[in-house]
Amino acid sequence: MWLLLVLLLAVLLLAGLCKVYLGLFPGSSPNPFFEDVKRPPAPLVTDKEARKKVLKQAFSTSQVPEKLDVVVIGSGFGGLAAAAILAKAGKRVLVLEQHTKAGGCCHTFGEKGLEFDTGIHYIGRMEEGSTSRFILDQITEGQLDWAPLSSPFDIIVLEGPNGPKEYPMYSGEKAYIQGLKEKFPQEEAIIDKYIKLVKVASSRVPHAILLKFLPLPVVRLLDKCGLLTRFSPFLHASTQSLAEVLQQLGASSELQAVLSYIFPTYGVTPSHTTFSMHALLVDHYLKGGFYPRGGSSEIAFHTIPVIQRAGGAVLTKATVQSILLDSAGKACGVSVKKGHELVNIYCPIVVSNAGLFNTYEHLLPENARCLPGVKQQLGLVRPGLSMISVFICLRGNKEDLGLLSTNYYVYYDTDMDRA
């Protein structure tokens, strides 16, 4: 019986993959990673006008390329990465950004001669040979130079009755685990179990990706039968919160706080985030953190030319008013606000990088927003935590001030949902 079920699922998966591929791109497209385009990083471009030409191309109808294949709403790196990969596959892509500067969380701003990052402060898995590094090298042609952070890359500070205590998180899996065990010698077995759960769950994330290629009725059938969570550790981890898993492991409140410390990076507290989400982030940083030399705007600065060389464009000051739908309810373009007028741009594929709520509550036409399926899905989720950033200038260089490239997470309670 199980063999027949597996064979049936394999056939359905193959059919689903073919349908998705043929539906999106009826013609053949080149492999975007067929050729290694990595080259040695060129010197940093600091000329403001040269950077402005790439990051601040203002929208105008004359700048819109003809015969577009794809329009991407939003120039956050998710949108830019998708656009760059599509461009490398021979597609002509237009990215529309409402801000004056492209980049999203890669956006930087200047104040009193200084440059500040608005989003990215460190990224994991950027060591040579990693999949993430390979992909970024290919869509930026190897022009990003990644500097490793200090070890420890993160330090957790917990305020207690006897004053603050620090817990360092070291780069490298062995050092990371050993650092935890040195602080919690009585809970070594719990730490080992936790790390094993993290590794198993994070390594099975392809299961969730494969589901996206299956027909929705098949996915619902597998879910109803309980097969999804039974055979996929990642999907099983998605049924439990981080807080539940740590409590089941028997971790002390102090250890639970330390193991949960990284939740601000994904914006959901431990009792509301799934363990699968947390496991992905912990595994992401096990080998330490990295930062692009020159600042986070370098990421957008070196991705945009790849899109442009394929005949596409990344235009700013382009507020998308709505996604256009044809008579069958399929996206066929976008409407952009230009002064007091609306400019319609037509294309066969629209990718929204504007976020779930912005897309479904503001960009889709009213008749699409009211569909029961859409309203039901929106009711299942809620926005993450809001953050306030304070940008500080210190007089002196890092050597004079004794500063390390380390993040500090400071909490005044071991209960992370209250801290």
pLDDT tops 80 at residue 3 = no
Supply 161's token pair. 């009755």
Phi then psi dihedrals of residue 168, to 5 deg = -80, 145
In the predicted model, what is the mean pLDDT of residues 68-73? Answer: 98
Q: How far is CA 117 from CA 34, 105, 139, 390, 404, in A?
A: 33, 8, 21, 11, 17
* pLDDT (tens digit per residue) in 340-383: 999 999 999 999 999 989 999 999 998 888 877 778 888 888 88
Q: What is the pLDDT of residue 324?
A: 98
Calculate ∠ Cα 134-139-141, nearest 5°.
80
Q: Of 70, 62, 67, 21, whose CA–CA distance to 333 is shortest?
A: 70
Q: Identify the weakest region by mean pLDDT among 13-22, 32-41, 343-352.
A: 13-22
pLDDT tops 70 at residue 407 = yes
- pLDDT category of residue 2 using cuts at 50, 70 and 90: very low
Q: What is the pLDDT of residue 1?
A: 42
Q: Identify the weakest region by mean pLDDT among 138-147, 292-301, 367-376, 381-390.
A: 367-376
Phi then psi dihedrals of residue 238, to 5 deg = -75, -10
- Say whether pTM exceeds 0.95: no
Cβ atoms of 273 and 241 within 8 Å: the answer is yes
For residues 46 and 50, give the distance between their C-alpha atoms in angstroms, rounded to a whole number.
8
Q: Which long-range contacts (CB under 8 A, 24 or more apart) does 13-20 make?
A: 13/210, 13/213, 13/214, 15/215, 16/213, 16/214, 16/215, 16/218, 17/213, 19/215, 20/213
Q: What is the pLDDT of residue 68?
A: 98
In the predicted model, what is the mean pLDDT of residues 22-43? Answer: 81
Which run of H or of E encompasses 352?
Answer: strand 349-352
The domains of the chain are located at: 57-120+296-378, 147-292+384-411
The number of residues in the chain equals 419
What distance, in Å, lies between the first and last C-alpha atoms of the chain? Answer: 51
Which run of H or of E encompasses 258?
Answer: helix 253-260
Amino acid (one-letter) located at 159: E
Q: Which CATH superfamily is domain 57-120+296-378 in?
A: FAD/NAD(P)-binding domain (3.50.50.60)
